[in-house]
Amino acid sequence: MRSEARFIVDAMLGNITTWLRILGYDSIYWSGGDRELIEKALKEGRIIITKDRGLASTALRRGVEVILVNGSDVPEIIAEVSKRYGIDVYFNPRKTRCPKCNTPLKLVRQDEYRWLCPGCGKHYWVGGHWRNISAVLGEVRRLAEEAWNR
Ligand SMILES: [Zn+2]
């Protein structure tokens, strides 16, 4: 189990960053060059998530861990990350991070789940978008279980 896995996601898969943050994993989005991306991954011990085969093989040669994905289906990609690195695919209200800036959120109200981001000052609560979040995470768990049982 590598619960402390950290990620760097290439620009083509930017929305994956948001989902990893919601699940509580330190994840950054990279839109710069490949060389800088690999350097940053090495320096900060981050796992690269990319669709780019060329980038993946260069990174592997440099000793960086890489998840090379095919499609852009969010649940499939998160399930793959979970299968490879054992990330938790259940939402943890005490561990979640700001989808915008990656800072761990502070739970300010336990009874109705309200959070404050100490990084950017944004407030979060369980609103209408919550149903969508639950649906996506439900699909992630279904795929992850399938993968584990294979
Ligand atoms: Zn924030």
Q: What angle do CA 138, 116, 112 make, to 5 degrees?
A: 60
Measured in angstroms, how far is the CA atom of residue 12 from the centroid of ligand 1? 22
Measured in angstroms, how far is the CA atom of residue 116 from the centroid of ligand 1? 8
Measured in angstroms, how far is the CA atom of residue 11 from the centroid of ligand 1? 20
**Residues 50-93: tens digit of each pLDDT:** 999 999 999 999 999 999 999 889 999 999 999 999 999 999 99
Domain-wise residue ranges, the chain = 7-95+128-149
* Predicted model pTM: 0.92
CA dihedral 67, 59, 39, 85 (to 10 degrees): 30
pLDDT at 148 over 80: no
Contact 94, 107 (CB under 8 A): yes
pLDDT at 21 over 50: yes
Reported confidence tier of residue 143, pLDDT bands at 50, 70, 90: very high
Measured in angstroms, how far is the CA atom of residue 104 from the centroid of ligand 1? 8
Measured in angstroms, how far is the CA atom of residue 44 from the centroid of ligand 1? 20
Give the residue ranges of DSSP H helices in the chain. Answer: 14-22, 34-44, 53-61, 74-85, 129-149
**Residues 40-51: tens digit of each pLDDT:** 999 999 999 999
Measured in angstroms, how far is the CA atom of residue 2 from the centroid of ligand 1? 24
Measured in angstroms, how far is the CA atom of residue 123 from the centroid of ligand 1? 9
Reported confidence tier of residue 149, pLDDT bands at 50, 70, 90: confident
Q: Work out the percent of the chain whose per-residue pLDDT is above 90.
A: 78
- The predicted pLDDT at position 3 comes to 47
pLDDT at 147 over 90: no
Measured in angstroms, how far is the CA atom of residue 122 from the centroid of ligand 1? 6
Measured in angstroms, how far is the CA atom of residue 8 from the centroid of ligand 1? 17
